[in-house]
Amino acid sequence: MSLRLWTNSIIAGLLGTNVANAVCSSNILIDNFSTWSMNTNTVGGWTSDDGSMASISVVDGSLAFTPKANSYFYESFSCTQAKDQGYNAVSFSVIGPAGGAASLEIQTKSSCSASAYSSSFFAVSGLTGSKQTVTVPLNSFAGAKTNAITGLVWSSFSKTGVKWVLDDVQFVCSTPGQASTAATKPTAVATVTSTNPTATGANPGPSPSGSCSNLLIDDWESQSRLTFLYYNAMIKPSSDDATMKSVVVSNDNHVTFTPKGADSYFYSQVGCVNAQNVYGGISLPIKAPRGAKITVQLSSPAKCGDDVDKVNAAQTSTELGWTFDGTEKLYSIPFSKFSKLDLTKIRTVFFTGFSGPVTFGPMAFYCGTTPSQYQVPPTTVPAGPTSTVPAPSSTASALVIDDFANNGANALGFWHGGDDEISLTWGNKQLTIKSSDSDYAFYTQLSGSCRNLNSFDGSYLHIVYSGSNKFSIALQQHNSQCNENIAPFPETWDSLEAARYSSGSDIYIPISHFNIDRSRVIGLAFKGFYTTESVVLKKVEIVSSIPASFKIPSKLPSGNFVFACKRPNSFAFAIDDGDPSLAQQVLKIVKEENIKVTFFTVGAPLEDPSTNLTNVYREMQSQGHQIALHSFTHPKMEGLPDYAAIDWEYNNDIATVKKTFNGLHTPYFRPPFGNEGARMRQRLAVALGTETPYIVQWSVDVEDWLYATGPTPEKQLDAFKRDLAKGGNLVVMHYLYPSTVGYLKQFIQLAKATGKQLMRVDQCMEDPNAPPL
């Protein structure tokens, strides 16, 4: 049973037929927003904005929100026989912008036993910018059946992008024994004006008021949003259900679908949009070969909130009058072609019947009857830093690290090699590297243990290369015991962006730009490849000087890259996103074990009310656990194509966390998949406005991703014990799987048995802003 059905069922009778003949003696408080975090109102019904607001939260006991063009907010409750019980009005307090207006909708049935309901609307105007009490007489709702009220909806906010405040929603009790016709006189009353009710049915999504602008469905901004989280730009379900051969988002707000066959399809849900008299259809640029065919299907449910569409109407590209010639053109899906569609409740746009590959541009509802293209807002691509610093001088001798003459060892006689998945082609004193993934790397060691490079602080790492420079170069720091059997190994590293330090054939990086303990260096890594183009390495060395014409860029902040706790004798559980249904079990376990942990959360699902993750993490935060960043859509951050794409992830994630958790601003970030590189570190520092953000990795991996759903889930316990024995003290795990959560108590007890103190990540990093232990 869903939470909404459950809460409605347990309050049946509180507002309904059990007191049908009673005469009221006081108002019924519908909502004072004291239980907003659980999406329940004061009478136990469901309340939500369905993610339609730009921001919404409880501030000082009142609901504060910033609406967008299509925003709404509703209160639902068990069927209330208001007239017979003696309630004659709805009242609420509001602070709205001066001169502002909004619509109040009441949902009623013919009787409490009926399934369908009707909606009647009132326009509330005359707002002053100060707190007012608005009282709307029930007999003013034309056509409303006030003996069967099931919900209230606020929508059509005349001013968007500004703060509104709502509180104390009530049914007003008339004086006992008197007819329920007069409204309680408020101290300050806004104007209420009747409007026509809608047709019988569920509440449609509110229509935008004032000037209309195209309503974006998807701008194809993010590959991971579309094919990892399965969301469109509205944070609504969108997927091909693996029916396509490939779905590839490009860097110019386009997506290309390559079908497997005639059964391939793609859909995008839009919530429940009321397009009637507002939007004339859906438009999108399409590029398809001459003679290509597509079928478009639009669907609507019987009522908003239903999981199944009731009406499905389809048109082929031929019926829509579409013809393709291999160039990109704007095409429209006019609603006038879909005669059966309920325009007050559009939920799904579905594409099928693909005859071959096709590329879509941004897809949106267009205003009026003339198709128009959605214009993606321009973004200013951050320019790479251009400042330079004086070149340091050095008297140290040159040190050749690798000349690629031998594929078994480098010029120092130490190991060099790559991850299994990376392509390495050895030539005559050169190595060609081609990587299909930003996770893969090539390594060349400077020592079998620790090498002290402090004497080279005035020198330069020099790399002779050709081809691509779209990768990072990392100098790795060994652990304090210089022992590869001790976790973590390596202890950390600093990654620098090759392109910032390169000419067409040479890369010169001051050794001092690598922000690590250079007295215990283990080696170099070429990593974070963000192109499949090849790079050819010919020599890696340390030199004392550079050509006079070469300019050294400023060192950019790259944060704290951590695999382990800094506080002596500490241990931290850092838990990534999971299944909301398992969250209460996790909270129960950590409460029983009397520990605090850190939760890293992805931003986009917080904006999807169906996940309930917002309430889950608010509860975690209220119990003293740390909430931290984990990106907006969970991509491999260093694999993103440019600064703008990286910034988009950070800025959306930071904004969502701030909005969701009452202004929370945290400098702690765990990169999805542990994927790291110079660009993502540099841009994180910019996005957070600090030179020292924490990029949090791990030294204890339960390997739930490998074993949790397989035949040997107990190997998660083995993995934990293995890393614990090596001295690891910073955990990565997810609460995605019942088996992993089932082992959590044992994980905690094993960690306690080491004698270490368990705490949040910020506490184990000795962060002065962390709460005291």
The 10s digit of each residue's pLDDT in 602-655 is: 999 999 998 999 999 999 999 999 999 999 999 999 999 999 999 999 999 999
By three-state DSSP, how is residue 523 classified? strand
Burial 512-548 (b: 16+ CB within 10 A, else e): bbbbbbbebbbbbbbbbbbbeeebbbbbbbbbbbbee
Owner of token pair 């400042």: 387
- Give DSSP secondary structure letters for 591-603: HHTT---EEEE-S
Is the pLDDT at 3 greater than 80, yes or no?
A: no
- Using CA atoms, how far residue 118 sits from 64, 180, 199, 206, 603, in Å, is 28, 21, 6, 14, 36
Q: Which pLDDT value is given to residue 44? A: 80
More reliable by pLDDT, 522 or 379: 522
Best CA proximity match to 369, nearest among 281, 254, 283, 455: 281
Q: How many CB atoms lie within 10 A of CB 195?
A: 15
Is the pLDDT at 575 greater than 70, yes or no?
A: yes
Mean pLDDT of the chain: 89
Is the pLDDT at 7 greater than 80, yes or no?
A: no
By three-state DSSP, how is residue 382 classified? coil
Is the pLDDT at 73 greater than 80, yes or no?
A: yes
Q: How many CB atoms lie within 10 A of CB 280?
A: 21
By three-state DSSP, how is residue 584 classified? helix
Please check whether residue 492 is in contact with residue 422, taking contact to mean a CB–CB distance below 8 angstroms: no
Helix (H) or strand (E) holding 719: helix 715-725
* Domains with residue ranges and CATH for the chain: 3-194 (2.60.120.430), 215-367 (2.60.120.430), 388-555 (2.60.120.430), 562-764 (3.20.20.370)
Q: Which pLDDT value is given to residue 397? A: 83
The 10s digit of each residue's pLDDT in 714-731 is: 999 999 999 999 999 999
pLDDT tier at 99 (50, 70, 90 boundaries)? Answer: confident
Query: Model-level pTM greater than 0.85?
Result: no
The 10s digit of each residue's pLDDT in 331-377 is: 999 999 998 899 999 999 999 999 999 999 999 999 998 999 999 98
**Torsion-angle region of residue 293: left (phi > 0), alpha (psi -120 to 50) or beta?**
beta
Spatial neighbors of 267 by CB under 8 A, at least 6 apart, are 237, 238, 239, 240, 348, 349, 350, 351
Q: Which pLDDT value is given to residue 381? A: 58
pLDDT above 90: percentage of residues in the chain? 75
Is the pLDDT at 380 greater than 80, yes or no?
A: no
Q: Which pLDDT value is given to residue 211? A: 61
Q: Which pLDDT value is given to residue 382? A: 59
Helix and strand totals (H; E) in the chain: 11, 46
The token duo for 713 is 């889930």
Q: How far apart are CA 47 and CA 45, in angstroms?
A: 7
Is the pLDDT at 16 greater than 50, yes or no?
A: no
More reliable by pLDDT, 624 or 23: 624
Owner of token pair 């707190």: 131
The 10s digit of each residue's pLDDT in 187-225 is: 233 333 333 333 222 333 333 334 688 999 999 999 999
Q: Which pLDDT value is given to residue 174? A: 75
Please check whether residue 280 is in contact with residue 369, taking contact to mean a CB–CB distance below 8 angstroms: yes
By three-state DSSP, how is residue 739 classified? helix
Helix axes 613-622, 580-592, angle to 10 degrees: 10
- Using CA atoms, how far residue 608 sits from 2, 48, 49, 235, 640, in Å, is 16, 11, 11, 6, 24
Q: How far apart are CA 374 and CA 738, in angstroms?
A: 43
- Give DSSP secondary structure letters for 17-82: GGGTT---SS-EEEE-STTGGGTB-TTS-BEE-TT-SSEEEEETTEEEEE--TT-EEEEEEEEE-H
By three-state DSSP, how is residue 110 classified? coil
Average pLDDT over residues 45-64: 88
Is the pLDDT at 10 greater than 50, yes or no?
A: no
